[in-house]
Homo-oligomer: A and B are copies of this chain.
Amino acid sequence: MSQTKILPAAKNAHQYPLLIKQLLLSGPRFSPDQEIVYANRSKYTYKDLVERINRLANALTEAGVKPGDTVAVMDWDTPRYLECFFAIPMMGAVLHTINVRLSPEQIVYTMNHAEDDVVLVHDDFLPILEGVRDDIKTVKTYIQLSDEDTAQETELETAGEYEALLANAASEFDFPDFDENSVATTFYTTGTTGNPKGVFFSHRQLVLHTLTMTGSLAASDEMPLLRSSSVYMPITPMFHVHAWGVPYAATLMGIKQVYPGRYEPELLVDLLKEHDVTFSHCVPTIMQMMLATDSIKTADLSNWHVLIGGSALPKGLCDAGAQLGIRMYTGYGMSETCPLLSATHLTPEDLELPLEQQTAKRVKTGIAMPMVELEIVDPSGNPVPHDGEAKGEIVARAPWLTQNHIKEPAKGEELWEGGWLHTGDVASMEPDNTLTIKDRIKDVIKTGGEWLSSLDLESLISQHPSVASAAVVGIPDEKWGERPYALVTLNAGEQATAEDIQQHLMQYVEKGEINKWAIPSQIDFAEDIPKTSVGKINKKLIRDQLT
């Protein structure tokens, strides 16, 4: 094609690379005295936040940190972590948010792989690092993070405790300009196999994610999550995709932020009440734990909006929340996508229904965010129809998707096959662009040219009165490609045969809900279904045991 027109800039014009330091301009200007709270421990203002970020940058410089270095953090969800979100990338260094839930072996793997230079570590996690100390290859110094008056004794060589270092550091720091494509953050995702994979995000990507998120979470009157009078408390770990990037957006707008530290359900509910929290985000499990507390029953939660992600929002959970007045929405994304790709989209008409009747809409994967292109494609990469039925893998383009897997170019190219980021999630899309996730692509059963959702089949089998739970996987089949296989556990004292289950599934064939070839020809019964360490069905193990 012909060339577009590019005109020269004046010699002295400022080019304005997109840098995280710019996200810190407006919040303190809008509301310098707004509070940032650390659980029931302490609080300070946005004015203090700016000064502490400056002090941290000086303390890290003193500890030897230079642009291009990697500084890792192992902390609970604290205002300290928020300070690291800003100060470390603003210096031109890379923030490595260590997943403290990994095994010590995996943690040390990620530290070596990311080539961490300095590590900020909370007292609670010192034993982990002390235990793998000899395997840590690149770290030159540690900084202790302590919630007590006296930091814990440690065998590690430390530059000191965080608060003491900040107190002794100068309160001004001149954060430099640099290439907006510089890496700002990195962290590792875990699959069911192999080593954790590193993803990374640039300053440009985080600025664009933040600006788009701010508009999206503010502008919808049906999902008014992030507004100047909001009170924000994250309940997804800050090590995991920057707590979904929301702390950056909250800081941009200068809204009140409450950091809970550890996730103790009673404490979380207390903080909700004390600070009249209006916006949180979490995975379903945490919400379940909070709903199970006694204290939540006496809380007025009619102004609490919660974005649920990480896994699908179960209907039952959304209903249980609705009974307490909690407004839940689905957010969709993954570590590779910074993360937000889509969210629940409600209309004014939806909101006219009683909250309990809005569940069907709230549990859908929703509509893509501004600036995001989402498509569902077949294995050849061709779009499948947006008819609410046809299933395809979700692929994405957006200004904030990880551009590669660190030091794993082959994995990076697989991720970006065909120039679209492959999410590994299988979904249908309705004519109005609403997505509903059906399965992980590795769990979907490819049979007779169709994709069967293993989750759908598990749900149908579970509706047999004798069945306690079911796991469905695809097993190779010469004629069909794959055929579904089911592993079933029965309720105590109940009995059923494979034929009973097949007979049960026939009713859904007759209703047109599934095709006949969706009925597993092989069904086994077991005492337990194998689970992974985080409680998900271990489908890989089930498949391995079959072949």
**Is there contact, CB below 8 Å, between B229 and A221?**
yes
**Is there contact, CB below 8 Å, between A371 and B25?**
yes
- Please tell me if A182 contacts chain B, counting CB pairs below 8 Å: yes
B-side contacts of A409, CB under 8 Å: 8, 10-11
**Is there contact, CB below 8 Å, between A14 and B219?**
no
Instruction: Say what secondary structure dominates the interface of chain A.
Output: loop
B-side contacts of A418, CB under 8 Å: 12
B-side contacts of A1, CB under 8 Å: 67, 92, 176, 178
- Restricting to A406-422, which residues have a CB under 8 Å from any CB of B? 406, 409, 412-413, 415-421
B-side contacts of A176, CB under 8 Å: 1
B-side contacts of A3, CB under 8 Å: 67-68
B-side contacts of A181, CB under 8 Å: 6
Stretch from A207-215, A269-277, A289-297 contacting the other chain: A207-215
What is the bound-complex CA distance between A208 and B222, given in angstroms? 25
**Is there contact, CB below 8 Å, between A399 and B11?**
no
Task: Given A67-B2, A369-B26, check contact A7 B406 (CB 8 Å).
Answer: yes
Nearest residue in B to A66 (C-beta to C-beta)?
Answer: B2
- Restricting to A157-215, which residues have a CB under 8 Å from any CB of B? 176, 178-179, 181-183, 200, 202, 208, 211-212, 214-215
**Is there contact, CB below 8 Å, between B412 and A13?**
yes
B-side contacts of A415, CB under 8 Å: 10
Mark each residue of chain A from 402 to 436: 1 if its CB lies under 8 Å from any CB of chain B, else 0: 01111001001101111111000000000011000
Task: Given A219-B214, A219-B253, check contact A16 B348 (CB 8 Å).
Answer: no
How many Å from the CB of A112 to the closest CB on chain B? 16
B-side contacts of A227, CB under 8 Å: 218-221
**Is there contact, CB below 8 Å, between A413 and B5?**
no
Q: What is the number of residues of chain A that contact chain B, defined by CB distance less than 8 Å?
A: 85
What is the bound-complex CA distance between A294 and B8, given in angstroms? 51
CB contact between A208 and one of B92, B179, B211, B367 (< 8 Å): that residue: B211
What is the bound-complex CA distance between A420 and B12, given in angstroms? 8
B-side contacts of A25, CB under 8 Å: 368, 370-373
B-side contacts of A23, CB under 8 Å: 370-371
Can you list 8 A-B contacts with CB-CB less than 8 angstroms, sorted by A residue number? A1-B176, A6-B183, A10-B415, A11-B409, A14-B397, A14-B421, A215-B249, A220-B228
3 residue pairs, one from A and one from B, having the closest CB atoms: A10-B412, A214-B215, A4-B182
A residues adjacent to B (C-beta < 8 A): 1-16, 18, 22-23, 25-26, 29-30, 32, 66-68, 70, 92-94, 176, 178-179, 181-183, 200, 202, 208, 211-212, 214-215, 218-222, 226-229, 249, 252-253, 345, 348, 367-373, 397-399, 401, 403-406, 409, 412-413, 415-421, 432-433
